[in-house]
Amino acid sequence: MLFAPFISKPDNVSQIMLRVMLALIPGIALYVWYFGPAILISLTLASVTALATEAAMLKLRDRPVAPFVKDNTALLTAWLLALSIPSLAPWWLVVVGTAFAISVSKHLYGGLGNNPFNPAMIGYAVLIISFPVQMTHWLTPHGLGQVELTFLDQLNFIFSGALPPGVTLDAITMATPLDTLKTQLHLDRPMQDIMGMPIYGRLAGQGSEMVAWGFMLGGAYLLATRIISWHIPVFYLGSIFATAGIFHLIDPAHYATPLFHWFSGAAMIGAFFILTDPVTGPTTPRGKMIFAAGAGFLTYIIRVFGGFPDGMAFATLLMNICVPLIDAYTQPKVFGRKEKKA
């Protein structure tokens, strides 16, 4: 080394990303347990696409390929996107979404560190707007469906769209717990009845609530290893809890409990893995609180009053827009310029 400091912490971007991916494993394992191994196929597809796109973009942009591909950031984006979309989605959906996320929302903005929007969430937004039908192929959790596909059948469906003879798509897929709730409320069924449907478990959706626990466990690991700070998860979940709590208190028959919202959809993976993306989030502690609280509020509003099944992705992107402003107005006082204590 030429300049001080001559030493550095044995820590690098690649390792950090790898540990975040490691933290996703409990959630993924529970996903496989409850919904079958199809998710592993989309994870692999997304990973391969992400690495290929990353390498191609770096080549096009005349940047060194090896150090950037090895930084594991593209892989993490791929995993987060694959976990956000239905695992039975056709193969090209995963490929298109991942390629778009890496090429447009990451590299066209300047590559690692320069993208203002979360690439995985951009990928999700593009897919749900462009291919809403394919984005409803959510698998029915284990034990609930009429038919259960084997791994080979799932593989076959993802790549060729062909189902085993006599099996219809409806037999193996279903609306998500959030979507079902919305539809049923529309039909004026009381909350009590809806929650009694077999699709719901103790807190939220059957199976999906367990996956949420898995992500929470991974999040705890990230907090313990100080890869993420507590500000975003606490304020995001707190904001969802508070907003949902207020509505639930006002009209319990129409608005689900705060815990339901915590364990539904992408709230948990969002709180610990998506909103905590350092590149697209604020940098100051106060900024993180504002950012996460805003995202929590928007998630709830979009879920309950909006037109999309889940609000997490759009809430993230909307709050990404505000990051520069939030950062500018939440700068902490520097040493010696703090308010003197009386």
Residue closer to another protein by CB (options 6, 305) is: 6
Binding residues among 149-168 for another protein as defined by CB under 8 A: none
When asked if residue 338 is in the footprint of another protein (CB under 8 A), the reply is yes
Least Å distance, CB 54 to another protein, is: 14
Work out whether 1 is an interface residue with another protein (CB under 8 A): yes
Contact indicator for 48, 99 with CB cutoff of 8 Å: no
Residues 6 or more apart whose CB falls under 8 angstroms from that of 117 comprise 105, 109, 280, 317, 320
Q: Which of 171, 279, 302, 322 binds another protein (CB under 8 A)?
A: 279
Residues in the chain: 342
Chain-centroid distance, C-alpha 250: 29
Selected from 133, 152, 250, 334, the binder of another protein by CB under 8 A is: 334
Of residues 5 and 165, the one with the C-beta less far from another protein: 5
Beta bridge partners of 139: 173
# residues contacting another protein (CB under 8 A): 36
Does the protein bind another protein through residue 4 (CB under 8 A)? yes
Question: Pattern 10-49, binding to another protein, x per CB under 8 A?
Answer: -xxx-xx---------------------------------
Shortest reach from residue 7's CB to another protein, in Å: 5
Give φ, ψ of 236 to 5 degrees.
-70, -55
Contact 317, 125 (CB under 8 A): yes
The yes or no reply on residue 278 touching another protein (CB under 8 A) is yes
Which one, 169 or 328, has the nearer CB to another protein?
A: 328
Please list every residue from 283 through 302 that binds another protein, using CB under 8 A.
Answer: 283-284
336 binding another protein? (CB under 8 A): yes
The CA distance from 284 to 302, in Å, is 26
Q: Assess 281 for contact with another protein (CB under 8 A).
A: yes
In order, the DSSP letters of 45-79 are HHHHHHHHHHHHHHHHTT--HHHHHTT-HHHHHHH
Find the shortest distance in angstroms from Cβ 4 to another protein.
5
Residues 6+ apart with CB under 8 A from 166: none
- Reported as type and span, the H/E element at residue 320 is helix 312-329
114 or 130: CB nearest another protein: 114
Task: Name the minimum Å distance from CB 335 to another protein.
Answer: 4
Look at residues 87, 209, 214 and name the one whose alpha carbon lies nearest to residue 138: 87
283 close to 327: Cβ distance less than 8 angstroms = yes
Instruction: Please report, to the nearest 10 degrees, the dihedral formed by the alpha carbons of residues 18, 22, 28, 30 taken in order.
Output: 180
| Helices and strands (H, E) in the chain, number of each type | 16, 0
Nearest CA-CA partner of 320 in 73, 90, 114: 114
Is 327 a binding residue for another protein by CB under 8 A? The answer is yes
Q: Is 250 in the site for another protein (CB under 8 A)?
A: no
Contact letters for another protein, residues 91-130 (x by CB under 8 A): --------------------xxxx----------------
Which positions from 43 to 82 touch another protein by CB under 8 A, shown as an x/- string?
------------------------xx--x-x---------
Binding site for another protein (CB under 8 A): 1-9, 11-13, 15-16, 67-68, 71, 73, 111-114, 278-279, 281, 283-284, 327, 331-338
